[in-house]
Amino acid sequence: MFDQIRKILEMIRFSHTIFALPFAMLAAVMAWNVADHRGEMVPFRLLHLVGLVVCMVFARSAAMAFNRIADRHIDAENPRTSQRHLPSGQLSLNSVILFTALTSLGFIGSTCFFLPNWLPMKLSGPVLVILFVYSLTKRFTFLAHFWLGLSLMLAPLAAWIAIRGDIILQNPADLAPPMVMGLSVLFWVAGFDILYACQDFDFDKQANLKSVPVRFGILGALRIAAVSHAFMVLLLLLLPATSFLGGPDLELGLIYWVGIVALALLLLYEHSLVNPDNLDRVNMAFFNVNAVVSVGLFVVVTLDLLI
């Protein structure tokens, strides 16, 4: 049993939760440290913190497991992915289907942490639909990378809604900060997923799968990834100005601005690692740099808000 659990956690790349979880936690820190339209603060609740972590783990696990189910035949034909757990027979299809069902129910059930705020439970179904549809998008659109970005964009939005549900119903402009943060996540994820997809350019073209590299070539894809990351930085620069949209004033200061400059330099370094003639360092750019980006942004904004 423990061996099966280990294989399932390997299959869904459980350690990669670090890409999305910091943005949910970041939105939570913002939600607890920013006054609403009445000038009141939302009190910190440990139950809500636990709920956010549990929801994130269940939602991402369900999405990754469904992705492995949907892509199992494609993975079997791709030399890079043929040794994944389903195509190689390390896990049975039924066990992964059962895991997907249980984690989906776990996600829906864990929204009870936020009651009497019913918004998370009401929105849990649509959230799962968005997460699951991503696995099908590369069959019909080259914008699949941006759908993945949309999926991770839900992390800060969902955390904010879970903590400030009543405030949002009274003042929809309260959603401005997590919306801008979420859009920055969308472009960040789309950018690095385009870089990652360059590895499968030949296979995707042969298998008639849709992607930015297939549509625009590897050089064009690298440029689109760079533009996406430029949009991420631009949106983060606009984050402190969301009060002009009627949202709360984040009062971000020097630590935040220094952090954004460092993040921009880190993204430039990421793109310097990859060029059309050498894709050997894509994995280093994908995993190492982006883990620093997500955790680093969480630390910078948290320090700025608290200090």
Mean pLDDT (whole number) for 68-75:
92
| Domains of the chain: total | 1
Query: pLDDT digits over 39-65, tens only?
Result: 788 889 999 999 999 999 999 999 999
Secondary structure class of 161 (helix, strand, coil): helix
Report residue 98 as tokens.
């059962």
Mean pLDDT (whole number) for 257-278:
87
Query: CATH number for the domain including 203?
Result: 1.10.357.140
Q: What pLDDT does residue 16 have?
A: 65
Mean pLDDT (whole number) for 113-134:
96
Q: What pLDDT does residue 98 have?
A: 93
Q: What pLDDT does residue 307 have?
A: 84
Say what percent of the chain tops pLDDT 90: 62
Residue 83 has pLDDT above 70, yes or no: yes
CB atoms inside a 10 Å sphere around CB 249? 13
Q: What pLDDT does residue 294 have?
A: 87
Secondary structure class of 149 (helix, strand, coil): helix
Residue-number span of the structural domain to which 60 is assigned: 2-306
Identify the CA nearest to 135 among candidates 66, 209, 204, 210: 66
Q: Please report the DSSP string for 208-269 in residue order.
A: T---HHHHHHHHHHHHHHHHHHHHHHHHHHHGGGGGGGT-------HHHHHHHHHHHHHHHH
Higher pLDDT, 257 or 274: 257
Cis-peptide, bond into residue 116, ω within 30° of zero: yes
Per-residue confidence at 254, pLDDT binned at 50, 70, 90? Answer: very high
Q: What pLDDT does residue 300 have?
A: 92
- Sign, CA dihedral 81-83-88-94, equals negative
Distance, CA of 93 to chain centre = 26
Cβ atoms of residues 290 and 267 within 8 Å = no
Q: What pLDDT does residue 249 have?
A: 82
Cβ atoms of residues 201 and 213 within 8 Å = yes
CB atoms inside a 10 Å sphere around CB 136? 15
Q: What pLDDT does residue 153 have?
A: 95
Cβ atoms of residues 227 and 268 within 8 Å = no
Residue 271 has pLDDT above 90, yes or no: no
